[in-house]
Structure 1
């Protein structure tokens, strides 16, 4: 198996993680850590925060018992059982120590303000119900990422959320109505195209039962 050199350049691998009830450790209690923590909670993760001091928003989350808090300086034992680590203190030396311990334990780590030393970066996220659009410049320019997000948000309207829900419901109906997997896939692709055209032209989405009876 080929071992790649550290100076070789490769794109980051994009994936969506299911963090429901999985443990994530955030080392730090400031603004940057707070943003990471809120995003993790939105995804259903169990969050452990390691920091002697917390900002007000995090104190509220701790008071509501939505996060576990260890009010102390970081130590290696804090990473035990975690699937993701975030080093988000204002001390680069502490962040580097967290990263080294995470790498030693084989756990993916994100280092605040140091994408080149991180195993992953967090994209900017736009959510429209079932639809999630992630935008990343691989840590090259958060400013460019923000501008791209704003431009995308300008051209997407709220009907996209309705379209995703409409197609989700149609998929469930198709699983009941069409037993052959290959035919079901073809029909759903054609129906999805018809719904997309309706979204672009701002027309009502075709009703599954009527559309399917005319296209089976």
Structure 2
């Protein structure tokens, strides 16, 4: 099971998460308590191994701004967390992760032909478009609807529930932010435990 740690804001956390086995790290360039500047992201990414996914999270940003930031800091993937249409996604030069707040399978079905490499299933919106730490009912997701895309599961995951989530959804990757924090800051011990738990979970097909 692949693991993405999102909301990275400092070099130590990024490097340590990579050493623990994280496959992807997320950098938020939208309104969020975890937002990073271009300069901060560039510095962090310069310390990371080449093979790890460096994902930029954007909400209703212009394609020009996204491309400029991606090129400057060294992103490998673009995560669209806003209301971006299919035509917008198709313009981008990097692989796209389209985030959707799960509100039933009908909306998921509509994304079957969305031009993205991944669909990120998240909880319904809170104050921010993501990273709200709330869980949705995984059992409501129709597996036949999502089997045409690589699914990244997010929304309220932590070490105590990620095994159950993986077994129900069988995603390509799990994504965590607040679930590996203590008092709003990334907790290296929690990151290690989450990664170990997710990667040790056996998924039947």
TM-score (norm 2): 0.30
- Structure ranking higher in helix proportion: 1
- Structure ranking higher in strand proportion: 2
Whose Rg is larger? 1
Higher relative contact order (CA closer than 8 Å, sequence separation 6+): 2
